[in-house]
């Protein structure tokens, strides 16, 4: 099939329908009439020979064929838009909607309270945060960017390591008063340790300790396993058990004595924070802006 400029135009209209959720919203987004949107979609379907949308009086949804076509075409449409913005050097490049799959620890304990600066810096950008157990298909799921701890696993994604966070082993004074303070990491085998679930393995994260000249792994057990790091930290504060946490967002608790760093000579373990985005030649300016902001915040902790 020879290239037809009307297909590109139709894809733009289709993207507006998907983003807006209706022909009416699409018409508002791109500045044409409802009937113009309908005619454009009909011409695109006729050109491709497939039905792209299921239409009812209340909703418009992609068909299976429409979803496959949209998932393949949308990144190229984004790339064309980003290339045009980059070429024009427009000051308003950072705009629109940015959907971020965010790490459940990084958002509440590091970014929360800092995001007003980002909003003031880019007033034309609207950011939506989602947290999922796994990084899925970013393009198919409508995600522009993922910010997650751990080694990159998606071969189709571009990754950028932002920073490595220290791992601290913490307990509250109340817990230590009842159970005593472990003198060495190996003593943790006799203590109640709060576990954190690793979705990549389906098991709790292992506990590793690294000093200047030694690395050891300790088998720990405990009655509670978490997927929410904030809840685990609250239980640690309450004296329920000992926890290993990323050493960000706990400085005030350590300074006032609410938490005790049990092994300050064993801080060698590091957990990397990565930013992931779909592979494409022209990275959207909004994605670059948010990655740079996360990097800025992390390095100032």
Instruction: Provide the strand spans (E) within the chain.
Output: 53-55, 60-62, 96-102, 125-130, 145-149, 157-171, 195-198, 203-204, 207-210, 215-218, 225-226, 243-246, 260-261, 270-278
| Each residue's pLDDT tens digit, 260-300 | 999 999 987 788 888 888 765 567 788 889 999 988 887 77
The overall average pLDDT reported for the chain is: 84
Maximum mean pLDDT: which of 73-77, 87-91, 139-143, 206-210: 206-210
111 confidence band (pLDDT: 50, 70, 90): confident
Q: Phi then psi for 219, rounded to 5 degrees?
A: -80, 115
| Each residue's pLDDT tens digit, 69-92 | 888 888 877 777 766 666 555 444
Question: What is the structure's pLDDT at 163?
Answer: 83
Question: What is the structure's pLDDT at 2?
Answer: 45
Assess whether pLDDT exceeds 80 at residue 56. Answer: no
Count of CB atoms situated within 10 Å of the CB of 203: 11
Domains present along the chain, CATH in parentheses: 5-88 (1.10.10.10), 96-163+272-300 (3.40.190.10), 166-270 (3.40.190.290)
Q: Which residues contact 251 (CB under 8 A, 6 or more apart)?
A: none
The Cα 295–Cα 150 span in angstroms is 16
């Amino acid at each position: 099939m020879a290239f037809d400029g009307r297909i590109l135009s139709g894809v733009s209209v289709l993207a507006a329908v998907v983003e807006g959720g209706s022909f009416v919203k699409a018409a508002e987004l791109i500045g044409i009439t409802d009937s113009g949107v309908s005619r454009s979609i009909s011409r695109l379907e006729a050109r491709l020979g497939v039905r792209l949308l299921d239409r009812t009086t209340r909703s418009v949804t992609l068909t299976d064929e429409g979803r496959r076509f949209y998932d393949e075409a949308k990144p190229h449409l984004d790339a064309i838009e980003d290339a045009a913005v980059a070429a024009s050097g427009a000051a308003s490049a950072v705009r629109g909607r940015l959907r971020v799959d965010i790490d459940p620890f990084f958002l509440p304990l590091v970014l929360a309270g800092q995001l007003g600066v980002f909003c003031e810096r880019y007033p034309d950008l609207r950011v939506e945060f989602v947290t999922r157990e796994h990084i899925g298909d970013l393009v198919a799921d409508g995600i522009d960017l993922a910010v997650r701890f751990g080694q990159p696993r998606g071969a189709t994604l571009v990754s950028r390591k932002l920073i490595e966070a220290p791992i601290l082993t913490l307990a509250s004074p109340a817990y230590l008063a009842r159970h005593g303070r472990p003198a060495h990491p190996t003593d943790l085998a006799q203590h109640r340790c709060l576990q954190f679930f690793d979705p990549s393995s389906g098991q709790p994260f292992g506990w590793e300790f690294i000093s200047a000249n030694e690395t050891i792994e300790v088998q720990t057990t405990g009655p509670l396993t978490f997927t929410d790091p904030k809840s685990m930290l609250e239980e640690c504060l309450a004296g329920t058990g000992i926890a290993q946490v990323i050493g960000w967002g706990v400085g005030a608790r350590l300074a006032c004595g609410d938490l005790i760093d049990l092994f300050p000579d064993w801080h060698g373990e590091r957990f990397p924070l990565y930013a992931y985005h779909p592979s494409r030649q022209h990275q959207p300016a909004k994605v670059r802006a948010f990655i740079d902001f996360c990097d800025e915040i992390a390095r100032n902790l």
